[in-house]
């Protein structure tokens, strides 16, 4: 199957309309960002977030310490899986920080973000710039990893795609943070790519918004944490490598799951996925991703309540679909459906684009 119709992602089913004042199905169908309400209406759970940051940091380092002490490969594997799950919470907390929803105090919000992202490891500022840009160009050519665009080599695009979701995405984020920190400039100035430039050159334009000095600050604080933890907790590099290898695969393979084969739309090109409740809590409701794209300012604990519908699409089924190789876009869909609005089912591939769509 190719991309589904937009109704499979966000449109209502008869008789199930909600009366939520923030995100109703009509607002979803509009496909526009929802402007911020008052802070009092959807307050940041500051005390809970502080507790979760402390719990996540303590749990992650404790698991690394236990992994460094065990001689059993089976126990090491179990600890590595637990570490990957705990680190998913750390990433979710960092995600709240870049949207300034971890704490109302800006300095504390950023400080907490630096701390949790130090375990990634990487720079929260680097991640912040890249992620906020993602909300503006989601499902554009610059981020369309699940389809082969005109001019791209299919075999190469598929190879890179599988490498990215197998862990390369994690490695690139960490290595890019380090490489950026070594640039002796206040700002980065990359030339604007032309139409014939490759997707990587276009994607790399976000580096123009990165400040190397802030990246150096983040990595310096992270280095202090690691330099203190290694001798204090008697950490062993081989055990840490195993734990981070599992985390890299887990994190990278789940980053694109919320966007794979969704409509080519910056807001509606995302999914709310059904997930086991304890994992929802561990992921801080990150699976409510369409709801997040509609109202990025709503803190994680309010997402289930403001969602137009509770997720129905299976997380596991979507994860399996993630591993299908990218299709050639021009072979899958006609040109009139490739630039705006939802891509239709293949049965309707020759139909005209609905001009009444609001986007």
Select from 328, 329, 358, 322 the least CA-distant residue to 343.
329
Give pLDDT tens digits for 49-67.
999 999 999 999 999 999 9
Name the residue with higher pLDDT: 14 or 203. 203
Contact 108, 134 (CB under 8 A): no
Helix 73-98 to helix 106-118 angle (10° resolution) is: 160
Strand, helix or coil for residue 253: helix
- Taking residues 205-224, what's their average pLDDT? 88
pTM for the model: 0.84
The yes-or-no verdict on residue 297 having pLDDT over 80 is: yes
Other Cβ atoms less than 10 A from the Cβ of 51: the count is 11
Strand, helix or coil for residue 272: strand
Give pLDDT tens digits for 314-352.
999 999 999 999 988 877 665 555 555 444 444 443 433
Q: Which two tokens stand for residue 200?
A: 């990587």
Would you state the pLDDT for residue 219? 96
Measured at the CA of 86, the angle between CA 109 and CA 273, to 5 degrees, comes to: 90
Give pLDDT tens digits for 130-156.
899 888 888 888 888 898 988 889 999
The yes-or-no verdict on residue 359 having pLDDT over 50 is: no
């Amino acid at each position: 199957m190719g991309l589904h119709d937009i109704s499979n992602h966000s449109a209502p089913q008869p008789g199930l309309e909600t009366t939520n004042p923030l995100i109703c199905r009509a607002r979803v169908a509009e496909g526009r960002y929802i402007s911020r309400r008052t802070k009092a209406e959807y307050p940041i759970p500051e005390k809970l977030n502080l507790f979760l940051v402390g719990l996540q940091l303590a749990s992650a380092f404790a698991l690394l310490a236990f992994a460094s002490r065990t001689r059993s490969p089976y126990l090491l594997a179990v600890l590595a899986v637990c570490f990957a799950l705990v680190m998913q919470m750390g990433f979710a907390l960092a995600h709240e920080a870049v949207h300034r929803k971890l704490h109302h105090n800006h300095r504390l919000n950023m400080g907490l973000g630096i701390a949790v992202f130090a375990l990634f490891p990487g720079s929260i500022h680097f991640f912040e710039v890249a992620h906020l840009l993602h909300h503006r160009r989601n499902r554009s050519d610059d981020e369309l990893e699940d389809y082969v665009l005109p001019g791209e080599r299919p075999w190469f695009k598929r190879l890179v795609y599988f490498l990215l979701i197998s862990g390369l995405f994690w490695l690139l984020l960490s290595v890019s943070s380090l490489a950026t920190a070594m640039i002796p400039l206040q700002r980065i100035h990359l030339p604007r790519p032309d139409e014939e430039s490759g997707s990587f050159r276009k994607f790399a334009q976000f580096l123009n918004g990165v400040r190397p000095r802030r990246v150096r600050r983040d990595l310096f604080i992270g280095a202090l944490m690691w330099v203190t933890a290694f001798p204090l907790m008697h950490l062993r590099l081989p055990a840490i490598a195993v734990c981070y290898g599992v985390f890299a695969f887990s994190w990278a393979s789940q980053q694109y799951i919320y966007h794979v084969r969704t409509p080519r739309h910056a807001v509606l090109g995302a999914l709310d996925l059904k997930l086991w409740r304890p994992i929802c809590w561990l992921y801080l409701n990150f699976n409510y991703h369409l709801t997040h794209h509609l109202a990025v300012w709503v803190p994680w604990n309010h997402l289930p309540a403001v969602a137009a519908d509770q997720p129905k699409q299976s997380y596991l089924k979507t994860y399996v679909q993630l591993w299908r190789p990218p299709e050639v876009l021009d072979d899958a869909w006609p040109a009139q459906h490739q630039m705006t609005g939802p891509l239709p089912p293949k049965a309707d591939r020759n139909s005209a684009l609905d001009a009444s769509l609001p986007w």
